[in-house]
Chains A and B, each alone.
Chain A
Amino acid sequence: MLMLEQLNIVQGDFGLRADWSVPAGTRVAIIGPSGGGKSTLLGAISGFVEASGRVLWANARLDGLAPGKRPIAMLFQDQNLFPHLTAAQNVGLALSQKRLAEAERSRVENALVRVGLEGLNNRKPAQLSGGQQSRVALARLLLQDRPLWLLDEPFAALGPGLRSEMLALVHQIAGEVGATVLMVTHDPEDARRFAQAIVMVDQGIAQAPRPTGQVFANPDAALRDYLGL
């Protein structure tokens, strides 16, 4: 379970608070108006943004740990791959920061096959399409063996068709490894299709997650504003 206890982020005159928990294995969408602090919330959980309060995973405190030491794998809006490394090297960094052993190399290969990139191991990001780049990043996520995935609109640059394809893939793979996923999106439709629970971020508060069906069936004032209803 991911628990945020009295989490409080202050950046100049911007503030954001959160105090709730998410059961392990849940897919959560974080929605809300732009500038509301959706990415900042992910930043605080992953350790890129300073915050007071506590972040716990499986009852262990994460706050105070460096981002790379947290049980968290992350996809950003952009720059998810090192442009000078091949697809296989990028994915391989999930397993080891040294030369890969034979067994590790075949795991990398399998992960690339799993995301539909068979035979593209030696391509560099510039030689891959946007969708393929996202798949490489997903393959790395798959091997990183970290139970909590934070996705910060990683597919925002893709077209609607590709985006829902990628979301379906994340859905499947996260299910296979039992990952807990927190995903920022600005598309309510994506949130509805992908997530089991919704966190609304607005007016300095990240509300506690509520079941997706319930949220969209009875939108509260904040969601109605956001959706323009």
Chain B
Amino acid sequence: MADRLRGLIPLIAAALVGAAVLLPLAAVIWRAGGLSPLDSRSWDAVWFTLWQAALSAVLSVGLAVPVARALARRRFRGRSALVALLGAPFILPVIVAILGLLAVFGQKGWLSDVLGLFGLPAVRIYGLHGVLLAHVFFNLPLATRLLLQGWQDIPAERFRLAATLNFRPWTMFRLIEWPMLRRIAPGAAMVIFVICLSSFAVALTLGGGPKATTVELAIYQAFRFDFDIGKAAQLAVVQLVLAGGAALIAMKLTLPEAGFGGLDRVVPRWDGSRIVDGFWIALVALFLLLPLAAIGLRGAGALFSLPASVWQAAVYSVSVSIGAVVVTLALALPLALSRRKWVELVALLGIASSPLVLGTGLYLMINPFIAPWDVALPVTAGVNAVMALPFALRILRPAAAQIEAEHGRLADSLDLRGWARLRWLMLPRLGRPLGFAAGLTGALAMGDLGVITLFADPDTATLPLQMYRLMGAYRMEQAAGAALLLLILSFGLFWIFDRGGRANADA
């Protein structure tokens, strides 16, 4: 009986996730009255969304090829730090990165200053190329990690054989590296394409205007500027079709796994130019470090004179983040421990839905009963929990399966079931992955600038939203200070959770 009840827990978790995703979607579809013809502005948004996502994917993967190859075959001081840095954009708040990119590439940024010395005009960052710049900033590191994994999976013997046969670079590429790239690169590009389809914060800050509006941004504009909920719902259906379709296509491709670590091995090779490899490594290091350095430099001065509203927003953000962590882990743990196949589908729900679509649906559901801004923070935490769930499952499920494979027999023979199995076997051994999943969730929720934009009233804001408002008011000093604070909080939260998980994970 008790076992039967315990078997229900993953089902309940799945039902909660299903309800949290499907009910808002149903509300959106119901309000939109199905698929009605789009106006030309909406079509523009659809084309821009597809076009920028495709370009972002191709650029990120294309640039990642020389970078990953350089990292795969060069051993140098700071290599492991650079590889770790490649993981940083994942937990870097989008709005922080944008402020950093503006400081480097903006009209008054460092690049424009340098160009000015040669009498050249300042760069203009807003529009398609700004959106692409930010997307490459976030996804070039991801693509590099995926490809680096691919390079490391090529057996060292092949490179040794190639060296004894004195392959020319082109032969080496054609016979050894190209087959790997053909296997990995399309999947990597697809992952990035799907991520960029739901781009909101980047388009909000660097895009905008009729020529550079994504569907997610159009939902927000319909909501906030036109007060046209029907149109927002219609656009949400469009976004749902786009993201859902892409997710279905992605399911057909074998997607490369971004191992979280284990990229330390350098396969000995005897080819390639040190100078070319050094150029790419330096370029990507500068590209990632300069915006972060800019935040640090500009923000440090303002950090201690931030207005009270920023600190208030920080408190809200920390509570949203911790709330999201608690919800995500409470849902992810029973799902990860369940050996049922349908758990994958639950994860897919989180991937296929986008924050603003969910937000629109939740708004439609909540609005008749209570003022949406009263629940802005819980809704933000909840939506972030659902968004982080696929990542948490991706981390926890294989770990749980491995624990079962290694120790399940012993636990079975000792009749460890249910709570006792959790206490004596799973929880102690899942410490590390749990800490890592909590850290990722916390940092993602901390930095999220999405659904909160729909729900917040002028008096409430999370830290990313408050930062965006400061940028909108051209209070760039304070915005930089808030950015530094947000950066510290995001990375700090990740670090604390991740450390906490490791602390108990000896042997």
Contact = CB atoms under 8 A, between A and B. Distances in A.
Interface of A: 46, 48, 66-69, 72-74, 76, 79-85, 93-94, 97-98, 124-126, 144
Contacts of A48: 409, 412
A80 B410 contact: yes
15 contacts: A46-B413, A48-B412, A67-B409, A67-B413, A69-B415, A76-B409, A82-B407, A82-B428, A84-B428, A84-B429, A84-B505, A85-B424, A93-B414, A97-B416, A97-B424
A97 B414 CA distance: 9
B216 to A, nearest CB: 44
A46 B506 CA distance: 31
A68 B413 contact: yes
Interface in B200-254: none
By DSSP majority rule, is chain B's interface helix, strand, loop, or mixed?
helix
Nearest to B414: A93
A85 B407 CA distance: 12
Interface string B477-507: 0000000000000000000000000000111
Contacts of A72: 413
Contacts of B409: 48, 67, 76, 79
Interface in B411-450: 412-417, 420, 423-425, 428-429
Interface string B113-148: 000000000000000000000000000000000000
Nearest to A124: B507
B357 to A, nearest CB: 42
Contact of A82 (B410, B417, B420, B506): B410
B157 interface: no
Contacts of B428: 82, 84-85
Contacts of B39: none
A144 B506 CA distance: 27
Contact of A79 (B410, B414, B416, B506): B410
B459 interface: no
B420 A97 contact: yes
Contacts of A144: 414
Interface string B256-298: 0000000000000000000000000000000000000000000
B415 A79 contact: no
Given A79-B406, A93-B424, A124-B507, 4 more contacts: A67-B409, A68-B415, A85-B424, A85-B428
Nearest to B431: A84
Contacts of A74: 413
A98 B424 CA distance: 9
B93 to A, nearest CB: 35
Given A79-B406, A97-B420, A84 B506 contact: yes
A64 to B, nearest CB: 15
Nearest to B410: A79
Most interface-central of A48, A68, A126 (chain B CB within 10 A): A68
Q: Nearest 3 A-B pairs (CB), nearest first?
A: A68-B415, A97-B420, A84-B428
B414 A68 contact: yes
B315 to A, nearest CB: 36
Most interface-central of B406, B409, B429 (chain A CB within 10 A): B409
A126 B226 CA distance: 65
A200 to B, nearest CB: 26
B7 to A, nearest CB: 14
Contacts of B423: 97
A68 B424 CA distance: 15
A82 B424 contact: yes
Interface in B448-496: none
A28 to B, nearest CB: 19
A72 B410 CA distance: 12
Nearest to A125: B507
Interface string B388-424: 0000000000000000001101101111110010011
Contacts of B424: 82, 85, 93, 97
Given A76-B409, A97-B424, A84 B414 contact: no
Contacts of B416: 68, 93, 97
A76 B506 contact: no
Contact of A124 (B406, B420, B506): B506
A81 B425 CA distance: 11
Nearest to A46: B413
Contacts of A81: 410
B410 A76 contact: yes
Contacts of A94: 414
Nearest to A94: B414
Contact of A68 (B406, B417, B425, B506): B417
A95 B505 CA distance: 25
A66 B409 CA distance: 11
Contacts of B412: 48, 66-68
A98 B417 CA distance: 12
Contacts of A68: 412-417
A97 B422 CA distance: 11
Contacts of A82: 407, 410, 424-425, 428
